[in-house]
Amino acid sequence: MQQTIRETKQALRNQVRAAVARMAPGERVAASIQACALLEARAQWRTAQWVLFFAPLAGELDVWPLLTAALSVGKNVALPRFVAKTKTYDACQILDPTLDLQVGQFGIREPHSRCVPLSSIRLDLILVPGVAFDLHGRRLGRGKGYYDQLLKGLRGTTCGVAFDQQIVSEIPVEPHDVRLDCVLTPTRWIELGR
């Protein structure tokens, strides 16, 4: 049974990645701009004092411009940093993206080692990447479970960030999978009851 879920997840990853790959680069840029504008209009964004971002990979919806915007209006910003020793992520505050970021173990921008991990701070908004999302708050990640582990240790509103092509009817779940509170796409904000 467990192997069947993993196989189903991998097939879904392949299907969604292919759909996103078919998007023209300009279409991805326009969709990212549209999603950022939609997020900025939400009360969850406007009232958030602490926001956990992620550094988008190629092919992911790009919310990175909002990081600079958040800092410029006095919001506190954090990003995940991979800790190789424990194979986990820590959420660490950054103050200046030009000084506080480095390329991490997986080639992803993350906080420099001098950035202090957050301890018991409640984050107001946690932006979450993923390969696919469904309308029940389920998220399909890359398959290692790192982000689910990070989310279990954080408090705050969790928001999946995706292109519309990444919304699927159903994602199979395993015991370690964490459900999200909402999902942002370029065309909609989806509130999910948990």
Average pLDDT rounded to a whole number, residues 185-194: 87
Which domain does 92 fall in, by range? Answer: 2-191
How confident is the model at residue 106, as a pLDDT? 84
Residue 193: pLDDT band with limits 50, 70, 90: low
Q: pLDDT by residue (tens digit) across 119-136?
A: 767 899 999 999 999 999
Burial class (CB in 10 A: 0-12, 13-18, 19+), 174: exposed
Burial class (CB in 10 A: 0-12, 13-18, 19+), 19: middle
CA atoms within 13 A on the CB side of 46: 6
Distances, alpha carbon 126 to alpha carbons 7, 67, 116, 175, 193, in Å: 28, 12, 18, 21, 16
CATH number reported for the structural domain that contains residue 141 in this entry: 3.40.50.10420
Q: pLDDT by residue (tens digit) across 157-180?
A: 999 999 999 999 999 888 888 899
How many domains, the chain? 1
**Whether 128 contacts 180, CB under 8 Å:** yes
Beta bridge partners of 157: 125
